Amino acid sequence: MTMPRSAPAIVALLTAAACLTACGGAQSRFQAHMKRGQTYFTEGDFSKASIEFRNALQIEPKDVAARLAAGHVAEKLQKPRDAYGLYQSVIDSSPDNVEARASQARFSFIRTCRTRH
Protein backbone atom coordinates (compact mmCIF):
# COMPACT_ATOMS: atom_id res chain seq x y z
CA MET A 1 0.00 0.00 0.00
CA THR A 2 1.43 3.36 -0.97
CA MET A 3 0.76 6.58 0.87
CA PRO A 4 -0.73 9.46 -1.09
CA ARG A 5 1.60 12.39 -1.71
CA SER A 6 -0.55 14.64 0.43
CA ALA A 7 -0.15 12.44 3.54
CA PRO A 8 2.83 14.38 4.99
CA ALA A 9 0.95 17.63 4.50
CA ILE A 10 -2.12 16.21 6.23
CA VAL A 11 -0.01 14.96 9.14
CA ALA A 12 1.65 18.37 9.45
CA LEU A 13 -1.72 20.11 9.36
CA LEU A 14 -3.17 17.83 12.04
CA THR A 15 -0.08 18.30 14.23
CA ALA A 16 -0.32 22.08 13.91
CA ALA A 17 -4.04 21.98 14.75
CA ALA A 18 -3.36 19.85 17.81
CA CYS A 19 -0.67 22.27 19.01
CA LEU A 20 -2.93 25.28 18.55
CA THR A 21 -5.74 23.56 20.40
CA ALA A 22 -3.44 22.61 23.27
CA CYS A 23 -2.05 26.13 23.49
CA GLY A 24 -5.52 27.62 23.53
CA GLY A 25 -6.51 25.17 26.24
CA ALA A 26 -3.50 26.05 28.36
CA GLN A 27 -4.16 29.76 27.98
CA SER A 28 -7.82 29.39 28.96
CA ARG A 29 -6.85 27.29 31.99
CA PHE A 30 -4.28 29.93 32.96
CA GLN A 31 -6.89 32.67 32.73
CA ALA A 32 -9.37 30.62 34.75
CA HIS A 33 -6.82 30.07 37.55
CA MET A 34 -5.95 33.77 37.58
CA LYS A 35 -9.61 34.78 37.75
CA ARG A 36 -10.39 32.33 40.57
CA GLY A 37 -7.25 33.45 42.39
CA GLN A 38 -8.32 37.09 42.20
CA THR A 39 -11.79 36.18 43.43
CA TYR A 40 -10.42 34.25 46.40
CA PHE A 41 -7.97 37.07 47.15
CA THR A 42 -10.77 39.63 47.14
CA GLU A 43 -12.84 37.40 49.43
CA GLY A 44 -9.90 37.05 51.82
CA ASP A 45 -9.43 33.31 51.24
CA PHE A 46 -5.67 33.55 50.80
CA SER A 47 -4.98 29.81 50.99
CA LYS A 48 -7.23 29.10 48.02
CA ALA A 49 -5.90 32.15 46.18
CA SER A 50 -2.38 30.84 46.67
CA ILE A 51 -3.31 27.49 45.16
CA GLU A 52 -4.90 29.14 42.13
CA PHE A 53 -1.94 31.43 41.48
CA ARG A 54 0.50 28.52 41.86
CA ASN A 55 -1.60 26.55 39.37
CA ALA A 56 -1.42 29.50 36.97
CA LEU A 57 2.36 29.60 37.43
CA GLN A 58 2.56 25.92 36.54
CA ILE A 59 1.13 26.84 33.14
CA GLU A 60 2.92 30.19 32.64
CA PRO A 61 5.94 30.27 35.01
CA LYS A 62 7.25 33.58 33.65
CA ASP A 63 3.98 35.50 33.80
CA VAL A 64 4.58 38.74 35.70
CA ALA A 65 0.98 39.23 36.88
CA ALA A 66 0.83 35.70 38.28
CA ARG A 67 4.12 36.11 40.14
CA LEU A 68 3.04 39.48 41.56
CA ALA A 69 -0.30 38.07 42.67
CA ALA A 70 1.43 35.07 44.26
CA GLY A 71 3.75 37.49 46.07
CA HIS A 72 0.82 39.48 47.46
CA VAL A 73 -0.80 36.26 48.66
CA ALA A 74 2.46 35.11 50.26
CA GLU A 75 2.54 38.39 52.18
CA LYS A 76 -1.01 37.85 53.42
CA LEU A 77 -0.11 34.29 54.46
CA GLN A 78 2.92 35.69 56.32
CA LYS A 79 5.47 33.88 54.17
CA PRO A 80 8.11 36.60 53.87
CA ARG A 81 10.74 34.60 52.02
CA ASP A 82 8.26 33.47 49.39
CA ALA A 83 6.91 37.00 48.90
CA TYR A 84 10.36 38.55 48.67
CA GLY A 85 11.53 35.88 46.21
CA LEU A 86 8.49 36.32 43.98
CA TYR A 87 8.91 40.09 43.89
CA GLN A 88 12.62 39.69 43.17
CA SER A 89 11.91 37.26 40.33
CA VAL A 90 9.68 39.87 38.70
CA ILE A 91 12.34 42.56 39.16
CA ASP A 92 14.99 40.26 37.69
CA SER A 93 12.94 39.61 34.55
CA SER A 94 11.36 43.08 34.28
CA PRO A 95 13.63 45.66 35.96
CA ASP A 96 11.24 48.50 35.10
CA ASN A 97 8.25 46.89 36.85
CA VAL A 98 7.19 49.58 39.30
CA GLU A 99 4.62 47.43 41.11
CA ALA A 100 7.17 44.73 41.95
CA ARG A 101 9.72 47.28 43.16
CA ALA A 102 7.11 49.12 45.24
CA SER A 103 5.77 45.89 46.75
CA GLN A 104 9.25 44.69 47.63
CA ALA A 105 10.22 48.06 49.11
CA ARG A 106 7.00 48.31 51.13
CA PHE A 107 7.39 44.75 52.29
CA SER A 108 11.04 45.31 53.30
CA PHE A 109 10.11 48.52 55.15
CA ILE A 110 7.35 46.79 57.11
CA ARG A 111 9.66 43.90 58.04
CA THR A 112 12.37 46.37 59.17
CA CYS A 113 9.89 48.30 61.34
CA ARG A 114 8.58 45.09 62.96
CA THR A 115 12.04 43.84 63.85
CA ARG A 116 13.02 47.14 65.47
CA HIS A 117 10.06 47.19 67.85
d(CA 67, CA 40): 16
Query: For the chain, what percent of residues have pLDDT higher than 90?
Result: 65
Task: Give the pLDDT confidence of 32-80 residue by residue, as tens digits.
Answer: 999 999 999 999 999 999 999 999 999 999 999 999 999 999 999 999 8
Helices H, strands E: what count in the chain?
Answer: 5, 0
pLDDT tier for residue 4 given thresholds of 50, 70 and 90: low
Domain ranges of the chain: 19-116
Question: What's the pLDDT score for residue 89?
Answer: 96
* pTM (whole model) above 0.85: no
Domain over 19-116 is classified CATH 3.30.450.20: no
CB atoms within 10 A of CB 61: 10
